[in-house]
Structure 1
Amino acid sequence: MTGPVDDVAARLRLIRTPSIGPVSYRQLLARFGSAAAALDALPDLARRGGGRLPQPPSPAAIERERQLVEKLGARLLFLGDADYPPLLAEIDNAPAVLTVRGDLSLTTRVPVALVGARNASAAACRFARGIALELATEGASVISGLARGIDTAAHEGAGTATIAVIAGGIDVAYPPENAALQERIAGTALLIAEMPPGTEPRARHFPHRNRIIAGLALGTLVVEAAPRSGSLITARLAGEQGREVMAVPGHPSDPRAQGCNTLIRDGATLVQNAADVLEQLRPIDARAAVRAPAPGWGAPPPEDASDAERERIGSLLGPVAVGVDELVRQAGCAPAVVQMVLLEMELAGRLERHAGGRVSLS
């Protein structure tokens, strides 16, 4: 953690406030300059958005979390810290804070996400274990989600060159049979969690975990996946983030291969071995294997909006997600004004953010 102790506590308190996600966290810091100033402004912002902000956690609760993280042998890693994973920092909804245990240098090797079916075939698990070992031997790191099936095989094959991203707290083992593997990864490789310690994983947490898996990696490789599986969500997120998407083909009669075959049909790279993966991901100059966060274009800090502008922007929103750029075009308002109205509505619990810079009414 960087920065004064009081600022670290204020940032964590802001992050842990309900209705504040990664995008709104960054916008609040850009608008108010510090987490403490943003916390003071939250009630008024939520009121303008037409709702009431849930109560931020108390300073005592934040101190208990920090003490528990330290007791677990972990640390808090904030977006903007020098050792925050550079590829993950590039995505528009990068986690504002992570809880980590282990060797962060693994994120600066050639990072490859390897995901697939939980009820995978024995042949697919053997393949995943073998290709993970080959990738690790060639200097890559293998990222997965510590689930049953392909994820477990990938972690086992990569050994000390693996990164596990879990959906619950850093101290919660899920599935329970992977408790020993999770502890081994934390001790010899790298374990990452976005949720606070003690959080039991719920269905809504897994898509958030998947965006981290995809965001950490230069490319995502899928080994067996049924249609509409979580692995395909990870692959879709990788594509939206501008990363490589790769898949291992399977027999057409096996439903567990349908997802991979569909990915290949839609343009994913067909992969048969580790050399195929590294050919896609390694640049001509190996020193550029992991790039610094791209500066890109950032939205201007949100600006105050008038009641008329709030009404105009709110009337354009509905249950179907729409791009923020489309809202700017149709509302005829400055981008900074649109961002402020959306921020107010999110803090009031009326707005939901989606991948690809899209929003909808909650």
Structure 2
Amino acid sequence: MSGPSPDKTLRLSEAQRLAWLRLIRSENVGPSTFRDLLNHTGSAKEALQLLPELSRRGGKKTYRVCSHNDAVAELEAHEKVGARLVALGEAGYPPHLRHIDGPPPLLSMKGGQAAGHPKMVAIVGARNASLSGRKLAATFARDLGAEDYVIASGLARGIDAAAHDAALTTGTVAVFAGGIDILYPPDHDRLLAAILNSGGTAISEMPFGWKPRGRDFPRRNRLISGLSLGVVVIEAAKASGSLHTARFALEQNRDIFAVPGSPLDPRSEGANNLIRQGATLATSAQDVLEGLAGRIEPALPFDRDLMEPDDDTRFGPVEPDDKLRADIISALGPTPIDLDELIRFVGGNFRAVHVILLELELAGRLERHRGNKISLLM
């Protein structure tokens, strides 16, 4: 899959790119909220003007909108380190990443164009990998690279590092949990330099200068699986972050391959469990190639491109009434419920319901969960 056709490729002006950056960096705006705001208002510029009022309706009196100066400073910081911000729908945006739930509206990217390659496989696994596990990761990466697959991983120690290193000559993508300028772990500076110098790509959805926290790694893992047609898991413990990547892969309709290991080694417990749960057992790259044979795009893709309308195009205003707002707040609670079920229950206009949910989310009162579920923060 080569991405959107030329006539549908997004082309942001510099003013629009700045507005997109301000919007995604504003308080309580995540990828899904960003998309809903554009659908509601028609453009990032219009959305920025409505943020304080929407938040106030949701119950928050003060709201932080990312300033023009802060956004300009971030753009300039990217340029200084040779990075760029690529918008969803633009040429160069990873093609398969468009087909996940809540794709990043803007990606920080540094290096070559490897992230735009249509054939990509993720290789993930234990940080404290055994020598055998590292050798397996390198062998899988080299053999898949020889068949024109780019390797995606998280630049962590162990399996990730071995896979990146073995794929330098054929293409690899490193996904950051922090900002594009924050390397973690910091001792992988030589490996990152080798990746970038060989035409590979580093990507991040986090703000420039963002230091990764524990909660940011699962968020990164959804990008690793989202970039790829399939995920290969090598040496993953029972509670490994690699299993988070596998779960994201399942939700994103990606193929999951697990390399079996000794039942005596706790580092193999997670991968062995994946096989029992239905993942494809893989002992060589050939098993992955056979599993992906003919696959050029993920199964059941969802079109997630965002197309900014012309300046004279506006969506019709939707003003939900107070009764619908009260009904929605009454129906929500700390237990996650399905969004479609909520819409059926309250019987409101689809767009009006989404506006109210936007108000609550911008006010920090709504939490989104996997599987299209939401809950109210009490």
TM-score (norm 2): 0.89
Contact 2:119 2:150 in 1 (8 A): yes
CA offsets 1:234-266 (integer angstroms, 9 cap, x no match): 100110011111111111121111111111111
CA distance in 1, matches of 2:23, 2:197: 30
Match of 1:347 in 2: 362
Alpha-carbon deviation of 1:171?
1.3
Distance in 1 (CA, whole Å) between partners of 2:16 and 2:68 is 12
3-state SS, counterpart of residue 247 of structure 2: helix
What does residue 310 of structure 2 align with?
none
SS in 2 for 1:159: coil
Equivalent of 1:212, from 216, 219, 223?
223
Matched, 1:225 2:249: no
Contact 2:55 2:360 in 1 (8 A): yes
- Give the alignment partner of residue 268 of structure 1, picking from 258, 265, 279: 279
**For residues 254 and 271 of structure 2, what CA distance do their matches in structure 1 show?**
17
**For the aligned residues, what is the CA RMSD?**
2.2
Instruction: State which of 87, 96, 99 in structure 2 corresponds to 1:90.
Output: 99
* Aligned residue number for residue 28 of structure 1: 37
Q: Could you tell me how far apart the structure 2 residues matched to 1:21 and 1:335 are?
A: 20
How many matched pairs? Answer: 358
Q: SS where residue 33 of structure 2 aligns?
A: helix
Paired AA for residue 118 in structure 1: R
Give the Cα separation in 2 of the matches to 1:109 and 1:179.
Answer: 27
Percent pairwise identity:
47
Decide which moves more: 328-337 or 35-44. Answer: 328-337
Q: Deviations over 1:129-152 (max 9, x none)?
A: 111111111110110000111111
Cα drift, residue 337 of structure 1 = 2.5
Residue 105 (structure 1) shift: 4.3
Q: Do the aligned partners of 1:132 and 1:158 also contact (CA within 8 Å) in 2? A: yes
Quick one: structure 1 residues 304 and 271, their matched pair in 2 at CA, closer, same or farther if it must change by over 3 Å? farther
CA contact (8 A) 2:55 2:63 kept: no
* TM-superposition CA deviations, 1:313-354 (whole Å, max 9, x none): 122222232221221232222332222221111100111112
Of 324, 332, 335, which aligns to 2:347? Answer: 332
Query: Residues 247 and 260 of structure 1 are in contact (CA less than 8 Å); yes or no, is this contact kept in structure 2?
Result: yes
TM-score (norm 1): 0.93
Q: Cα 1:252–1:215, aligned 2, differ >3 Å: closer, same or farther?
A: same
Q: Could you say if the C-alpha distance between residues 297 and 147 of structure 1 is closer, same or farther in structure 2, counting changes exceeding 3 Å?
A: closer
Judged with a 3 Å threshold, the aligned counterparts in structure 2 of structure 1 residues 159 and 291 are, in CA distance, closer, same or farther, namely: farther
- Following the alignment from structure 1 to structure 2, what is the Cα–Cα distance between the partners of residues 333 and 297? 27
Q: Which moved more, 1:47-56 or 1:156-165?
A: 47-56
What does residue 252 of structure 2 align with?
241
Equivalent residue number for residue 137 of structure 2: 128
Alignment gaps of 5+ in structure 1: none
Does residue 1:252 correspond to 2:263, yes or no? yes
Contact 1:282 1:289 survives alignment (8 Å) = no
| Greater mean alpha carbon deviation, residues 316-325 or residues 109-118 | 316-325
